[in-house]
Amino acid sequence: MSIATVPSYGLRHVSTTRPWLIKTLRFSSTPFASLASEQAEPNTMQSSNNVNKPTSNFPKRGQTVELVCESLAFKGKGLCKVADTGFVVMCDRALPGERFIGRVTRRKGSYAEVTKVETISPHWDLVDAPCEYASYCGGCKTQNLAYEAQLRAKEQQVRDLVIHVGKFSKSELESLEIMKPIVPCDIQFHYRNKMEFSFGPERWVPKELLAEKNEGDKIKNYALGLHAPGFFDKVLNVNKCLLQSEPANMVLVAIQDCWRDVDLGLSPYNVHSHKGFLKHLMLRTGRNLKTGLPELMVNFVTSSYKPELLMPLVERVSAIPEVFSVMNNVNTSVGNTSVGEEEYTLYGKPTITETLRGLTFQISANSFFQTNTRQAEVLYSLIEECAGLRGDGSEIVLDLFCGTGTIGLTLASRVKHVYGYEVVAQAISDAHLNAELNDIRNATFVQGDLNKIDASFGNNFPRPDIVISDPNRPGMHMKLIKFLLKLKVPRIVYVSCNPATCARDLDYLCHGVLYDLIKDVMQAEQNIKGCYKLKSLQPVDMFPHTPHIECVCLLELCDNPS
């Protein structure tokens, strides 16, 4: 196979020894492409750096430069240019149109990172951020950017990635109306049904508020809140988060009110010394099926099992009428995750409920469930639209990265059978439970690692008519891409929470994969031709004020896929 024989779609290089090492930089000299390749695979940057190494214009570490922010890019950082040289730098919390002085903190391949020193003129679309923590909390970075401008920036980011990383032409995207306008989120606050707060022994206070710090008062300095941007060990104390539900804020206030009381003998976990009891507070909001009102789960993650220590907190929160469940996940490891090796019910029931597209779901403390339920309704209806089901009950759906089975289950009534695959065992047992709860009998859920499939994977289910693939941020593994390119189902609906890896995978599926025959002669595999056409790409805003972007893509098998 040679590139010349490939009709309208090209081939992309992949090293066989490191299939994820995407050599995007080989094909593009634009700084955006290097940023995008970092999003697609952060670990590849160092090895790819030399390709785009700029020569003379590179500002030095510590140097201050005048900058203009042009757009939002990776992790919501501002993509900025040095005013006189046009050199590209990235700056956290710089917003489109803002002119400012920045100090270079580090060099990253073909660009540099800066921190903002002083704003010369503010960005376009400036609004007041309603949250008191907005200017330094790691959660919402763009609250002071008008929502319409946030949407424009997200849409632009997806378009740029699909062009630079996905290698789709602008004219192709426009003339065939592939790229759709972003779907806004109709509520921009209180949309999250799950928040995780951390306990810490010493609250992090931004420079401008240092005077308010209670120096010398150890207990008053204990923190319960969100991590300071970029730090796993620094916690910003928060009493309210505008992204979670009002009842969840009531719980947070109730706990903040009492957990530092010395008589209770509670201590926050210290991630350095590994001492202390309270690790995290997770709040999940569902919906009571009888009343339609919010129903809450409070989950304390602790380093050991000492229910007697938690009892005063349990009493306080269970007095809030919306609280239906109080759980304790015990995580004895030094790691700081919220999933415990053991789980105990301290009050009420071990799961809460939620409805999505007419179905009922049981949510346990650690099961994955779409975080914005309301917008998940919109997302799932777009997925169903793209799936283009005939509705005669004849089709087979393969639901990859199925989580608790929500997507497949919402399609089940219109198809012959749904086969779901997912790596987390707990999610699979929740999926079975969800099928049972909704009396769905034509769905099979299997636990398995989709990064480790081999050629026999397809023997586990009948040939699908539709594949839904909804991977997490790293996107699809090359083994799965190769499997799909060989399987050649008529349509794939690719749902992505990371437009960079989405663009990369669309490139592979549509344009193919070319193995690096020069470097990896011994392990050279056959090149694989792309065999899909990108029919539509729909960005959806699930998380206002944050950099996250969801996309629903429809891929159709080409006419002559062989």
Ligand X SMILES: C[S@@+](CC[C@H](N)C(=O)[O-])C[C@H]1O[C@@H](n2cnc3c(N)ncnc32)[C@H](O)[C@@H]1O
Give catalytic residue positions: 497
Strands (DSSP E) contained in 2-63 are 12-14
Residues 6+ apart with CB under 8 A from 330: 301, 302, 303, 304, 305, 340, 341, 342, 343, 344
| Segment interacting with ligand X, rule: CB under 6 A, options 94-102, 269-277, 395-403, 539-547 | 395-403
Q: Is 368 in the site for ligand X (CB under 6 A)?
A: yes
Q: Is 540 in the site for ligand X (CB under 6 A)?
A: no
Q: 449: annotated binding-site residue? A: no
Q: Which of 50, 85, 381, 451 binds ligand X (CB under 6 A)?
A: 451
Least separation in angstroms between residue 257's CB and ligand X is 34
Choice between 65 and 466, CB closer to ligand X: 466
Helices (H), 21-71: 24-27, 31-40, 45-48
Helix (H) or strand (E) holding 553: strand 550-557
Q: Is 370 in the site for ligand X (CB under 6 A)?
A: yes
Residues 6+ apart with CB under 8 A from 240: 131, 132, 249, 252, 253
| Segment interacting with ligand X, rule: CB under 6 A, options 184-192, 294-302, 403-411, 436-444 | 403-411
Q: Which of 314, 402, 493, 503 binds ligand X (CB under 6 A)?
A: 402
Residue for token digits 């056409």?
Answer: 533
Least separation in angstroms between residue 269's CB and ligand X is 25
- Give the number of other Cβ atoms within 10 Å of residue 201's Cβ: 20
Asked if residues 300 and 275 have their Cβ atoms less than 8 Å apart, the reply is no
Q: Is 531 in the site for ligand X (CB under 6 A)?
A: no
Least separation in angstroms between residue 470's CB and ligand X is 4
Choice between 57 and 451, CB closer to ligand X: 451
Choice between 69 and 158, CB closer to ligand X: 158
Least separation in angstroms between residue 374's CB and ligand X is 14
Report in angstroms the alpha-carbon separations of 250 from 255, 264, 321, 332, 512: 9, 20, 10, 29, 52
Q: 399: annotated binding-site residue? A: no
Q: Which residue lies nearest ligand X, judged by its C-beta?
A: 403
Q: Is 422 in the site for ligand X (CB under 6 A)?
A: yes
Contact flags string 483-512 toward ligand X, x per CB under 6 A? --------------x---------------
Choice between 211 and 425, CB closer to ligand X: 425
Asked if residues 321 and 348 have their Cβ atoms less than 8 Å apart, the reply is no
Residues 6+ apart with CB under 8 A from 157: 71, 72, 73, 499, 549
Least separation in angstroms between residue 421's CB and ligand X is 6
- Give the number of other Cβ atoms within 10 Å of residue 488's Cβ: 14
Q: Which of 151, 398, 407, 500 binds ligand X (CB under 6 A)?
A: 407
| Segment interacting with ligand X, rule: CB under 6 A, options 88-96, 307-315, 422-430, 506-514 | 422-430
Q: Which of 423, 433, 440, 478 binds ligand X (CB under 6 A)?
A: 423
Residues 455-484 that bind ligand X (CB under 6 A): 470-472
Least separation in angstroms between residue 497's CB and ligand X is 5
Least separation in angstroms between residue 400's CB and ligand X is 7
Asked if residues 500 and 75 have their Cβ atoms less than 8 Å apart, the reply is no
Q: 277: annotated binding-site residue? A: no
Choice between 322 and 422, CB closer to ligand X: 422
| Segment interacting with ligand X, rule: CB under 6 A, options 299-307, 325-333, 346-354, 415-423 | 415-423
Q: Is 45 in the site for ligand X (CB under 6 A)?
A: no
Q: Is 301 in the site for ligand X (CB under 6 A)?
A: no
Residue for token digits 């009531």?
Answer: 250
Q: Which of 78, 166, 403, 512 binds ligand X (CB under 6 A)?
A: 403
Residues 6+ apart with CB under 8 A from 84: 66
State how far the Cα of 380 lies from the Cα of 383, in Å rounded to an integer. 5
DSSP at 270:
P
Least separation in angstroms between residue 501's CB and ligand X is 12
Choice between 139 and 471, CB closer to ligand X: 471
Residues 6+ apart with CB under 8 A from 213: 203, 205, 221
- Give the number of other Cβ atoms within 10 Å of residue 249's Cβ: 19
Residues in the interface with ligand X (CB under 6 A) total: 19
Q: 370: annotated binding-site residue? A: yes
Helix (H) or strand (E) holding 429: helix 425-437
Q: Is 449 in the site for ligand X (CB under 6 A)?
A: yes
Helices 499-511 & 147-164, crossing angle to 10 degrees? 30
Q: Which of 104, 145, 163, 427 binds ligand X (CB under 6 A)?
A: 427
Q: Is 258 in the site for ligand X (CB under 6 A)?
A: no
Q: Which of 100, 168, 222, 401 binds ligand X (CB under 6 A)?
A: 401
Helix (H) or strand (E) holding 102: strand 99-108
Query: What's 196-231 look like in SS3?
Result: EEEEECCECCCHHHHHHCCCCCCCCCCEEEEECCCC
Helices 478-487 & 499-511, crossing angle to 10 degrees? 40
State how far the Cα of 477 lies from the Cα of 483, in Å rounded to an integer. 10
Least separation in angstroms between residue 480's CB and ligand X is 8
Binding site, residues? 370, 401, 422, 470
Binding site for S-adenosyl-L-methionine, residues? 370, 401, 422, 470
Contact residues toward ligand X (CB under 6 A) are: 368, 370, 401-403, 406-407, 421-424, 427, 449-451, 470-472, 497
